[in-house]
Chains A and B, each alone.
Chain A
Amino acid sequence: MIEIKDLHKSYKTGKSELHVLKGINFSVKEGELVAIMGSSGSGKSTLLNILGILDEADSGTYVLDGVPIKNLNETLASQYRNKFLGFVFQSFNLINYKSALDNVALPLYYQGIKSKERNEIAMSYLKKVGLETHSHHLPNELSGGQKQRVAIARAMASHPKVLLADEPTGALDTKTSYEVMELIQGINDEGKTILIVTHEPDIAAMCKRNVILRDGLIVEDKYITQQRVTANV
């Protein structure tokens, strides 16, 4: 599903140049649930953003579901994001003037689906995350956990091949974090490929594979026995 080879990325700030990713080799098969870990500043978000075509690598190759991602113009990039990828952010990134339902329906709008069908699909995903009763609430009328569930519903609504989540539980307490992880495990159980950036070992333990970054390189990559959330609570 995902295949990257010798990926490099550096940021220029003023005169100095910061080499963040120093040759990442990494591949993910369909249906995997991967936790990307590492200390702050190790380049986790940078890697995830490149995987999400939100940012571009300086060198190296990236193949997503057999499609080489290289020198895309913005129009094509946005199409790929829409078709292949779903995003979940630490800060939720919901559009604050849109209701939960409209937020979830937004990626479908960009797929050209008509509003009636769009709302039906969006509603079914809200149901899946247990928020059908909150469909007409605005983001600021929702709790952090509810917002993240809406964001997950939105990421799922466009049927992406890969779900990318950058610290999805970073702004949530333990209990809510586990609820979100339960949801993610459920989605993964249905066969979706998911990559999660996290700091928390207990969250990483709920994934099937742990990748550890340090100084722009993968220093550890191991498959683990998944801890089910239901067993924990």
Chain B
Amino acid sequence: MFNIERWQEIFEAISKNKLRTFLTGVSVASGIFILVILLGAGKGIQNGIQNQFAQDATNRISIWPGNTSKEYKGLGIGRETKLKNRDYEIVTQKFEDYIDNKSAIYSVWSGNIVFGKETGTYRVEGVNPNYQFIENASIVEGRFINLSDIENYEKAAVIGKKVATDLFKEKNKPLGQSINISGMMYKVVGVFTDPGGEREEQRVFIPLSTAQKAYSAGDNIRSMAFTMPKETNFNKAVAESKKFTEELGKVLKKRHMIAPDDESALFINNSLEEAKKIYQMTDIIQAFFWFVGILTIIAGVVGVGNIMLIVVKERTKEIGIRKALGASPASIIAMILQESIFITLISGFMGLILGLLVWAGIGPSVESDFFSHPEVDFNIALTTVILLTVAGAFAGFIPAYKAAKIKPIVALRDE
């Protein structure tokens, strides 16, 4: 393998047979190139989709009340479940370990909002400061509801971008303006945007405490929402959230005298279960790209094998001459294999680097909501190059072996 003389002989054959070298090289390089592009695209789509769902707080758990549909401990059906501040306190204390962000919510579906001559009906939600992260809302200007708003029953409002454009048009800056919500004046302290789009941006957040007072709700709450700490292992995350929701259901049902199997008195929604389907979809996409990639590689191996067959066929006469001059069968095999391995390896690397360069070059410009960071695992690509080289060598070995075996007189007769 490290015989300089032999390498010289091979380099001579390679450099003097440019077309042959070029054709072998191009087929290998393009195979690897396509694979790298495919893997990159697969990864990009996967990242894109996962980002989408990361934006929507995939691990959100919501609880809202309903009416009982089963008798329990002598209590009739059709009772309304009433969630209170106390429920929220107990739950957040008891499940502290499960919970990352938390908020109780008192919302009004249609709150009438007036600013000057402009008026509109929007959903008004009394929430806790953490709610921003549960919604995954981002602040455009100003701030979100904070703890002192809650403690001081501040009449502060954080409005959605849509609400801001509706009420203030282009003319006025929303921050610091006073708006009338259901007959009471609030100061706009922030404007938010939501990845959910316009529909989600037609909302106004006010402090929970203020909302309860303004709408005379006492200590009633309409719902609770939580997120759970991020898990790196998705299946574990699903299992954890399932456990959490079950426990949560048990505790609340017991407190409100609800039959354990009553499905309509309390609703608990676990968004992670939904997300699981999405993740499975990205897995399928990923698997598809792998499948296509592997087919490409198989095609590449077959291609290299074919080229080796042709190369050996083309060189039959040369092989005959070499054997007449004293070349042993082993040296013929070594010559052909070494040449093929060398070309496959070099061109494989070129295809690899070209593919990586393409992604490095166009990656940032194709970045979008559903496509992000199309990186390729270098090790996987490298393994593929080596695999292709080995496969090419095997594919080349059979014709090389046959060529080395044929009698020189037969080889010499070849035209």
Contact = CB atoms under 8 A, between A and B. Distances in A.
The yes or no verdict on A and B being binding partners is yes
A79 to B, nearest CB: 7
A203 B414 CA distance: 28
Contacts of A55: 407, 409
A93 B321 contact: yes
B13 interface: yes
Given A82-B325, A114-B5, A115-B5, A95 B318 contact: yes
A106 B405 CA distance: 20
Interface residues of B, number: 27
Contact of A54 (B16, B317, B327, B408): B408
A111 B327 CA distance: 9
A110 B325 contact: yes
A75 interface: yes
A100 B329 CA distance: 24
B203 interface: no
A49 interface: yes
A198 B325 CA distance: 22
Interface in A43-95: 49, 52, 54-56, 74-75, 78-79, 81-83, 87, 89, 93-95
B324 A93 contact: yes
Contacts of B412: 54, 89, 93
Interface string B320-339: 11111111111100000000
A115 B325 contact: no
A78 B330 CA distance: 11
Contacts of A81: 323-326, 408
Contacts of A158: 325-326
Contacts of B326: 78-79, 81-83, 107, 110-111, 158
Given A95-B318, A114-B5, A54 B328 contact: no
A97 interface: yes
12 contacts: A54-B409, A55-B407, A74-B328, A74-B404, A82-B326, A93-B321, A98-B16, A106-B322, A107-B325, A110-B328, A115-B5, A115-B8
Interface of B: 5, 8-9, 12-13, 16-17, 317-318, 320-331, 404-405, 407-409, 412
